[in-house]
């Protein structure tokens, strides 16, 4: 933005803040420095339209109206009560909390917006030391490419469509969704909304969105139900507490320390002449334990439960090349 335009816009804001009367575009052209440079009425109106749009984008509340019914055209003013940020007075520990909140984001969109907020808080007289060290520092990343377009769609109330990969298998299905919000849960981002295809609320993990998120239809059409709890919708749908499973394993001596540190020893047992231990392990994530255990190869033998034994066997068959798996089947075609 040129210096001349910035100067003109600052003057426009000051002028409209100071007036209680609505000022018509013509009046503004006569008063505010910079508009006199416009060579024609048409050039002025183009300039003025652009300036109004710029101020609205910044969140400046422009009021449009007429001082009396006899006014020939609409006029403009800025109501001070709508423009000004209210009083904020933060204690040092509260300011430290704000600093921590600003630093929470690791995402260009949210970091930028948080800094914008910080700037205004400082302008309101609050002192916030952004760099003050904290003992515990939470960070929330949003690096998925789908994040920015989805956040924009949520904030403008627009429907979106995207291709979505299912948890298992290579299927990619196209979805059309009225997004209610983006939610971070257990370190992962989801978009929650009304799935038009299924006519029901659905959650989608951002990392499984393939390709671009496209906006569909006009802004302002998405209505979020008043009573919906976004976090609960995601929490309810995600892989929530499967109760821990107890597994019985044989582990070769001096091997598989990752398993041993959580295990209860039941006794020494030799297997195929190899010394080892019989262990009991509480598995908190039984659904992913097979990957972990299969990695130890012959150093660990699952004895119980049968489901774990079977899924470990499946993985090992795959790794041994004895399964026509996803990779193999498709690489032949």
Partner 1 sequence: MSGSTERLPRLLALVPYLLARPGIPIEEAAADFGVSPKQLRRDLELLWMCGLPGYGPGDLIDLSFEGETVTVTYDAGMRRPLRLTAAEATSLLVALRALADTPGVVDTDAVQRALAKVEAAVGQAQPAGVVVGLTMRERTVSAETRSTVTEAVQKRRALWMRYYTASRDEITERVVDPMRVLIVEGRSYLEAWCRSVERVRLFRLDRIDAVRVLDEPASPPPHARPTDVSAGLFRPEPGQGVAVLELAADARWVAEYYQVDDLVELGAGRARVWLRYSDPSRMVRMLLGLGDQARVLEPESLARQVAERAEAALARLASHPSL
- Does 294 contact partner 1 by CB under 8 A? yes
Token couple for 96:
């430290």
* Closest CA relative to residue 300, chosen from 264, 283, 270, 276: 276
Candidate list 120, 198, 214, 264; residue touching partner 1; CB under 8 A: 120
Nearest in space to 11 (alpha carbons), one of 43, 27, 34, 36: 34
Choose the binding region for partner 1 from 37-45, 79-87, 194-202, 212-220 (rule: CB under 8 A): 79-87
Q: Kindly state whether residue 85 participates in binding partner 1, applying the rule CB under 8 A.
A: yes
CB nearer partner 1, residue 175 or residue 309: 309
The residue within the footprint of partner 1, chosen from 83, 216, 245, 280 (CB under 8 A), is 83
Per-residue b or e along 202-219, where b marks 16 or more CB atoms closer than 10 Å to that residue's CB: bbbbbebbeeebeebeee
Query: Judged by CB under 8 A, which of 36, 58, 79, 173 binds partner 1?
Result: 58
- Residue 273 interacting with partner 1 (CB under 8 A): no
Given 36, 49, 50, 59, the residue binding partner 1 (CB under 8 A): 59
Tokens representing 76?
């403009």
Which residues, including other chains, have CB under 8 Å from residue 29's CB and lie 6 or more apart?
Answer: 35, 36, 38, 44, 48
Q: Is 227 in the site for partner 1 (CB under 8 A)?
A: no
Residue 47 Cα to chain centre, angstroms: 36
Closest CB 40 distance from partner 1, rounded Å: 23
Stretch of 37-45, 59-67, 68-76, 194-202 lying at the interface with partner 1 (CB under 8 A):
59-67
Q: 36: buried, middle or exposed (CB in 10 Å: 19+, 13-18, 0-12)?
A: exposed
Query: Smallest gap, in angstroms, from Cβ of residue 36 to partner 1?
Result: 12
Binds partner 1 (CB under 8 A): choice among 42, 68, 70, 135:
135
Residue 115 contacts partner 1 per CB under 8 A: yes
Between CA 197 and CA 176 the distance in angstroms is 7
Q: Could you say whether residue 194 binds partner 1 (CB under 8 A)?
A: no
- Of residues 196 through 215, those in contact with partner 1 by CB under 8 A are 210
Stretch in the footprint of partner 1 (CB under 8 A) among 8-16, 35-43, 66-74, 213-221: 8-16
Which segment (37-45, 67-75, 212-220, 255-263) binds partner 1 by CB under 8 A? 255-263
Residues 6+ apart with CB under 8 A from 283: 244, 245, 246, 247, 289, 308
Element (H, E) at 264: strand 263-271
Residue 40 or 321 with smaller CB distance to partner 1: 321
Nearer to partner 1, 40 or 81 (CB): 81
Q: Does residue 95 bind partner 1 (CB under 8 A)? A: yes
d(Cα 64, Cα 24) in Å, to the nearest integer?
A: 9
The string of DSSP codes covering 48-68 is HHHHHHHHHHTT--EEEE-SS
Q: Site for partner 1 (CB under 8 A): which residue of 65, 116, 145, 211?
A: 116
Residue 43 binds partner 1 (CB under 8 A): no
């Amino acid at each position: 933005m040129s210096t001349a335009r910035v100067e003109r816009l600052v003057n426009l804001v000051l002028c409209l803040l100071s007036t209680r009367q609505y000022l018509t575009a013509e009046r503004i052209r006569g008063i505010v420095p910079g508009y006199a440079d416009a060579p024609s009425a048409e050039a002025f109106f183009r300039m003025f339209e652009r300036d109004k749009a710029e101020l609205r984008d910044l969140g400046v509340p422009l009021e449009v109206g007429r001082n009396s019914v006899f006014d020939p055209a609409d006029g403009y003013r800025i109501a001070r009560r709508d423009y000004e940020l209210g009083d904020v007075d933060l204690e040092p520990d509260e300011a430290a909390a704000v600093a921590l909140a600003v630093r929470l984001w690791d995402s260009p969109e949210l970091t930028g917006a948080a800094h914008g907020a910080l700037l205004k808080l400082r302008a309101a007289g609050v002192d916030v030391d952004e760099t003050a060290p904290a003992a515990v520092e939470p960070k929330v990343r949003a690096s998925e490419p789908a994040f920015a377009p989805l956040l924009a769609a949520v904030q403008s109330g627009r429907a979106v469509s995207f291709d979505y990969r299912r948890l298992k298998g290579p299927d990619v299905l196209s979805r059309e969704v009225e997004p209610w919000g983006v939610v971070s849960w257990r370190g992962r981002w989801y978009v929650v909304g009304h799935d038009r295809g299924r006519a029901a609320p659905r959650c989608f993990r951002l990392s499984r969105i393939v390709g671009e998120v496209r906006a569909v239809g006009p802004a302002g059409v998405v209505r979020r139900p008043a009573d919906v709890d976004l976090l609960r919708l995601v929490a309810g749908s995600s892989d929530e507490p499967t109760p821990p499973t107890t597994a019985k394993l044989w582990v070769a001596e001096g091997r598989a320390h990752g398993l041993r540190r959580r295990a209860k020893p039941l006794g020494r047992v030799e297997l195929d002449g190899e010394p080892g231990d019989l262990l009991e392990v509480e598995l908190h994530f039984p659904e992913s334990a097979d990957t972990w255990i299969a990695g130890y190869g012959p150093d660990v033998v699952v004895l119980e439960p049968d489901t774990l034994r079977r899924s470990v066997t499946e993985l090992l068959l795959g790794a041994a090349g004895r399964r026509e798996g996803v990779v193999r089947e498709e690489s032949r075609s």
